[in-house]
Copies of this chain bind each other. A is one copy, B any other.
């Protein structure tokens, strides 16, 4: 089941602002109604907290731990919207970023493909437009 304890963070590595993006194309979970697998791509974007703050000490999610966290959804029955909200909540709690954006794109069921977007803080327009 989704396990935020798998997530690890490291200190923000630069004094100047960075924007970081991780795109995981191999996400899978289960539909809670039918039990059939869902397949999606998870796009995470965020600006880490400044390095000289408490939040900055855990400003960036470590990549391998993010992968393991995503894998922990593999056998979970969970709706698209809940996946998206959960990832937003867990990563915001971990990193306390300046802003954060999660977009999930799903390959589709019954001829309809879907996307869900959740955000934290003030996401710049140029990322909202993607």
Q: Are B13 and A107 in contact (CB under 8 A)?
A: no
How many copies make up the complex? 10
Q: Are B71 and A37 in contact (CB under 8 A)?
A: yes
CB neighbours (8 Å) of A125 from chain B are 125-126, 129
Q: Are B20 and A67 in contact (CB under 8 A)?
A: no
Q: Chain A contact residues (Cβ within 8 angstroms of B): what range?
A: 35 or more
A112 contacts the other chain (CB 8 A) = yes
CB-contact partner of A129 in B74, B79, B129, under 8 A: B129
Q: A36-B71, A125-B126 given. 4 additional CB < 8 A pairs?
A: A23-B112, A23-B113, A63-B112, A125-B129
CB neighbours (8 Å) of A28 from chain B are 26, 28, 37
